[in-house]
């Protein structure tokens, strides 16, 4: 019988508790980071397309190039916000994180609109 008690006690020590709230937050942060990388890649491709088609040398193309640079600034700000979210700790972190996520979501939305506008112009210019 003593051997059973030792096995039970040892298995009770091996139990790990997972904080699902923390796991959700880590997953949410990783999703935002992946989305930011995807939008950044689209932004870079749109800027390259502007140069390849020669549209950047027109008035409309220059304006679109400035929009893409603004979009890139938005993406830099989103990256900073995601770093700040990752560094948050404590009970007030949830409220701060929500504000940061809201701002990041808005900036990503603006960036996507700016980048898609460039794609439409490049498609018409061909």
Q: Which candidate, 100, 95, 99, 117, places its Cα nearest to that of 36?
A: 100
Domain that holds residue 103: 19-125
Q: Please tell me which residue, 91 or 86, carries the higher pLDDT value.
A: 86
- Predicted TM-score (pTM) of this structure: 0.76
Say what the pLDDT of residue 103 is. 95
Top mean-pLDDT range of 99-103, 113-117, 118-122: 99-103
Q: Taking residues 24-45, report their average pLDDT.
A: 92
Positive or negative, the Cα torsion across 113, 101, 26, 77?
Answer: positive
Greatest distance between any 2 Cα atoms in the chain:
87
* Residue 118 located in a structural domain: yes
State the pLDDT at residue 102. Answer: 95
Q: How many domains does the chain have?
A: 1
């Amino acid at each position: 019988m003593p051997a059973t008690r030792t096995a039970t006690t040892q298995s009770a020590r091996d139990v790990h508790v997972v904080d699902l709230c923390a796991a959700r937050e880590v997953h949410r942060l990783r999703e935002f980071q992946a989305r930011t990388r995807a939008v950044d890649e689209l932004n870079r491709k749109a800027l390259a397309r502007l140069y390849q088609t020669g549209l950047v040398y027109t008035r409309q193309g220059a304006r679109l190039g400035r929009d893409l640079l603004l979009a890139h600034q938005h993406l830099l700000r989103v990256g900073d916000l995601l770093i700040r979210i990752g560094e948050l700790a404590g009970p007030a972190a949830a409220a701060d994180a929500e504000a940061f996520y809201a701002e990041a979501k808005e900036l990503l939305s603006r960036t996507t609109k700016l980048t898609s506008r460039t794609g439409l112009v490049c498609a018409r210019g061909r």
